[in-house]
């Protein structure tokens, strides 16, 4: 929106201005699910929004009910006058007219929801708006294509490392808009292609057989496209054929993917990590996936210590998957105190949506869209992208230092960003 910035200060995450009690009630439920304060949901519709924002700072996300608006486009333009840049606006109304929808989008509205609303619909729109908030910042970086590599490692078999890999690959490509490669190094039993309803092809097997052939052109031909922004390299190698590699094919693939994509997600089985530890030497993020059990606690401790020693520059994110509050083997507190660090992201045990995703041939995160479960994926995506930003900033600062001895301004801005992220 267009208004100049008002007094500096922290923006509210969310404000809503709605016309009726039913909508108010529904918005409060969705906003509560997002973890935002429900007191910021007000009655009064678009007119009240304009009045209120003319004297106070705009929120990050604004929801306006246009049911009582006689001239929606004019009223949205009036809102644009008082709403500061950067605010993502979601509108709702009773007019079902595709021209109005298009006009509203071209006036800068992020989404238009037709009343009567459902909680799922509102939640989905809020999740998308939240993803949008990070998107422009990352879009600015696309010019120089900083690459970020993450390795996803399950601390034990079956904890859900592949589910996390495919879901994150979907979220990174579809929601954060990054050109993403998913490299599934479970050569015999990988499920990356199966999950996304694709044929794995021969690309990975050919790469292992002929590492010297791996170059940009090979990557272009061998990768299987899941969408415009997501490509996959995986295999279903015959069970009687052992993988004959010294690891150079895998390393070479990582190198080539670095040049061709903005984000590489490597689904890295522990059995591959052990003989080829150098595969994580360039990883910016290590995503350790665990369940909350005694055996997983033991192996989380061992792997955390291994990564600390062997890849000290990588940021380790700990995801607890299949979490069951009441009947789990360990409580979250017991698990965290045994591993002596907090879990970063919790993904609940969710057999219903997981099996729905399998039937649809989609990633779990995609099927979560519009449900409460989507929040965990939005949070995980944000966490990884924050790490990628810091890595890119550090690389830029290092190269600036190389050229000019380092600018104080660059260092200060890096420190400020780091401080803000650590405090977040």
Ligand X SMILES: Nc1ncnc2c1ncn2[C@@H]1O[C@H](COP(=O)(O)OP(=O)(O)OP(=O)(O)O)[C@@H](O)[C@H]1O
- Check binding of 166 to Mg ion (CB under 5 A): no
Residue 395 burial (10 A CB sphere; 0-12, 13-18, 19+) = middle
Nearer to ligand X, 70 or 157 (CB): 157
Q: Which of residues 190-229 bind ligand X (CB under 6 A)?
A: 191
Phi, psi of 408 (to 5 degrees): -60, -40
Give start and end residues of each alpha helix (H) in 280-368: 294-310, 332-339, 351-360, 364-368
Q: Give the whole-angstrom CA distance, residue 34 versus residue 127.
A: 8
Among 186, 366, 389, 391, binds ligand X (CB under 6 A): 186
Binding mask 281-300 for ligand X (x = CB under 6 A): --------------------
- Check binding of 251 to ligand X (CB under 6 A): no
Residue 177 interacts with which of ligand X, Mg ion, none, CB < 5 to 8 Å by class: none
Nearest-5° angle of CA 107, CA 112, CA 113?
Answer: 170
Q: Which residue is nearest to Mg ion (CB)?
A: 162
Nearer to ligand X, 89 or 272 (CB): 272
Q: Give the whole-angstrom CA distance, residue 370 versus residue 122.
A: 8
Measured over all CA atoms, what is the biggest interatomic distance in the chain, rounded to whole angstroms?
72
Give start and end residues of each alpha helix (H) in 177-237: 192-195, 203-209, 216-222
Among 269, 284, 370, 387, binds ligand X (CB under 6 A): 269
CB-CB contact of 114 with 126 (8 Å): no
Among 54, 349, 371, 397, binds ligand X (CB under 6 A): 349
Name the minimum Å distance from CB 349 to ligand X. 5
Check residue 212 and report its DSSP letter. G
Residue 322 interacts with which of Mg ion, ligand X, none, CB < 5 to 8 Å by class: ligand X
Binding mask 155-184 for ligand X (x = CB under 6 A): --xxxxxxx---------------------
Name the minimum Å distance from CB 160 to ligand X. 3
- Check binding of 366 to ligand X (CB under 6 A): no
Name the minimum Å distance from CB 409 to ligand X. 45
Q: How many CA atoms lie within 13 A of 321 on its CB side?
A: 27
- Check binding of 236 to ligand X (CB under 6 A): no
Q: Which stretch binds ligand X (CB under 6 A): 60-68, 115-123, 152-160, 380-388?
A: 152-160
Q: Which stretch binds Mg ion (CB under 5 A): 72-80, 118-126, 156-164, 409-417?
A: 156-164
Nearest-5° angle of CA 234, CA 237, CA 243?
Answer: 100
Assign residue 102 a region: left if phi > 0, alpha if psi is -120 to 50, beta otherwise?
alpha
Among 134, 293, 321, 375, binds ligand X (CB under 6 A): 321
Q: Give the whole-angstrom CA distance, residue 234 versus residue 269.
A: 13
Nearer to Mg ion, 161 or 319 (CB): 161
Residues 6+ apart with CB under 8 A from 348: 322, 323, 324, 325, 373, 376
Name the minimum Å distance from CB 195 to ligand X. 8
- Check binding of 162 to Mg ion (CB under 5 A): yes
Nearer to ligand X, 19 or 163 (CB): 163
Residues 6+ apart with CB under 8 A from 284: 148, 149, 150, 314, 315, 387, 388, 391
- Check binding of 351 to ligand X (CB under 6 A): yes
Name the minimum Å distance from CB 89 to ligand X. 34
Residue-wise burial string across 107-125, b where 16 or more C-beta atoms lie within 10 A, e elsewhere:
bbbbbbbebebebebbbbb
The H or E element that residue 111 is part of is strand 111-114
**Strand 230-233 versus strand 224-225 pairing type:** antiparallel
Binding residues for ligand X, rule CB under 6 A, total 18
Name the minimum Å distance from CB 354 to ligand X. 4
- Check binding of 321 to Mg ion (CB under 5 A): no
- Check binding of 359 to ligand X (CB under 6 A): no
User: For binding to ligand X (CB under 6 A), which residues are involved?
Assistant: 154, 157-163, 186, 191, 269, 321-322, 347, 349-351, 354
User: For binding to Mg ion (CB under 5 A), which residues are involved?
Assistant: 161-162
């Amino acid at each position: 929106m267009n208004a100049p910035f008002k007094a500096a200060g922290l923006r509210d995450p969310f404000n809503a201005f709605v016309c009726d009690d039913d909508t108010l009630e529904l918005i409060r439920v969705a906003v509560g699910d997002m973890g935002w304060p429900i007191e910021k949901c007000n009655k009064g519709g678009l007119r009240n929004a304009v009045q209120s924002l003319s004297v106070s700072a705009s929120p990050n996300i604004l929801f306006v009910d246009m049911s009582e608006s006689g001239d929606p486009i004019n009223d949205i333009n009036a809102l644009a006058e008082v709403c500061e840049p950067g605010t993502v606006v979601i509108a709702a109304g009773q007019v079902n007219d595709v021209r109005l929808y298009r006009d509203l989008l071209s006036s800068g509205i992020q989404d238009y929801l037709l009343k009567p609303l459902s909680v799922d619909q509102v939640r989905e729109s809020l999740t998308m708006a939240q993803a949008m908030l990070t998107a422009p910042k990352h879009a600015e970086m696309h010019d120089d294509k900083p690459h970020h590599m993450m390795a996803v490692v399950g601390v034990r078999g079956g904890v859900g490392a592949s589910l996390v890999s495919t879901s994150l690959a979907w979220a990174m490509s579809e929601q954060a808009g990054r050109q993403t490669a998913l490299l599934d190094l479970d050569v015999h039993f990988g499920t990356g292609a199966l999950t996304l309803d694709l044929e794995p092809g021969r690309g990975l097997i050919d790469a292992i057989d002929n590492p010297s052939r791996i170059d940009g052109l090979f990557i272009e031909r061998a990768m299987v496209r899941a969408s415009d922004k997501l490509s996959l390299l995986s295999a279903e190698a015959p069970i009687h054929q052992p993988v004959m590699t010294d690891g150079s094919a895998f390393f070479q693939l990582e190198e080539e993917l670095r040049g061709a994509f903005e984000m590489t997600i490597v689904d890295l089985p522990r059995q591959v990590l052990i003989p080829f530890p150098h595969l994580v030497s360039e990883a910016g993020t290590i995503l350790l996936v665990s369940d909350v059990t005694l055996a997983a606690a033991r192996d989380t401790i061992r792997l955390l210590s291994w990564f600390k020693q062997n890849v000290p520059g990588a940021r380790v994110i700990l995801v607890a998957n299949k979490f069951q509050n009441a009947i789990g083997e360990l409580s979250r507190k017991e698990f965290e105190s045994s591993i002596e660090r907090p879990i970063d992201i919790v993904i609940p045990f969710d057999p219903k949506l997981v099996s729905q995703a399998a039937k649809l041939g989609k990633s779990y995160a995609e099927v979560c869209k519009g449900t409460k479960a989507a929040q965990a994926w939005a949070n995980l995506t944000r966490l990884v992208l924050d790490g990628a930003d810091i890595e890119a900033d550090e690389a830029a600062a290092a190269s600036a230092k190389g050229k000019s001895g380092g600018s104080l301004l660059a260092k200060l801005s890096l420190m400020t960003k780091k401080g803000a992220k650590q405090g977040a």
